[in-house]
Chains A and B, each alone.
Chain A
């Protein structure tokens, strides 16, 4: 069955420190992978996506993610975190049941001064 696991429910980092959010997936074919961010009271915004090609993808707001097929992972990274990055981050994989995506349960990021 297709699934997405985000092992970390909460992560706290200091402003200026590097960040890595983990995402593991289970998928029977070549997956389409996504990272979304949700700020408080807002909808989900697409950060980046991977379909094929270069396994290191760049997104908005200085984020990047690396697809590692051997590890079934698609971890999100940022070299230097800003206070405005505090939000909920969701990993998603698809397609599922046609055109739907499977979303992970999210990782809540807290940024301390």
Chain B
């Protein structure tokens, strides 16, 4: 199994630019989670999907952030326009949500730097 795949692994962009982060979950998983990790705030849940439907987006910081999951094998997190305070590591995780299974499997993350 290839695990959760994220791209790009590193992104450096200038303030005001649009940034798109991509995630491919583990095949067969039906829940997908986007997290942000910073030294100051730790690991924060931004949004999660179940069966491609957004369930909880209360962690999305503001309207500059948007996420989509057009199909079971792909999701994007977009920041437009980006700001320096968005600099962080963004993780995607997936799980099979059914029965007694809730463990999440994390991707390697995308390190975003906004200058």
A residues neighboring B (CB under 8 Å)? 32, 34, 36, 42-46, 49, 51-52, 90, 94-95, 97-101, 103, 105-106
Contact = CB atoms under 8 A, between A and B. Distances in A.
Given A42-B108, A43-B109, A99 B95 contact: yes
Given A98-B56, A99-B95, A99-B97, A43 B106 contact: yes
B43 A103 contact: yes
A90 B100 CA distance: 21
A99 B42 contact: no
Contacts of A43: 4, 91, 106-109
Interface band, chain B: 20 to 34
Contacts of B42: 103, 105-106
A49 B102 CA distance: 10
Contact of A97 (B56, B95, B104, B107): B56
Given A100-B48, A105-B42, 9 more contacts: A43-B108, A44-B93, A44-B106, A46-B104, A51-B100, A52-B100, A99-B31, A99-B48, A99-B55
A97 B55 contact: yes
Interface string B54-93: 0110000000000000000000000000000000000101
A100 B45 contact: yes
Given A99-B48, A99-B55, A46 B105 contact: yes
A44 B91 contact: yes
B103 interface: yes
Given A46-B105, A100-B56, A90 B43 contact: yes
A59 to B, nearest CB: 11
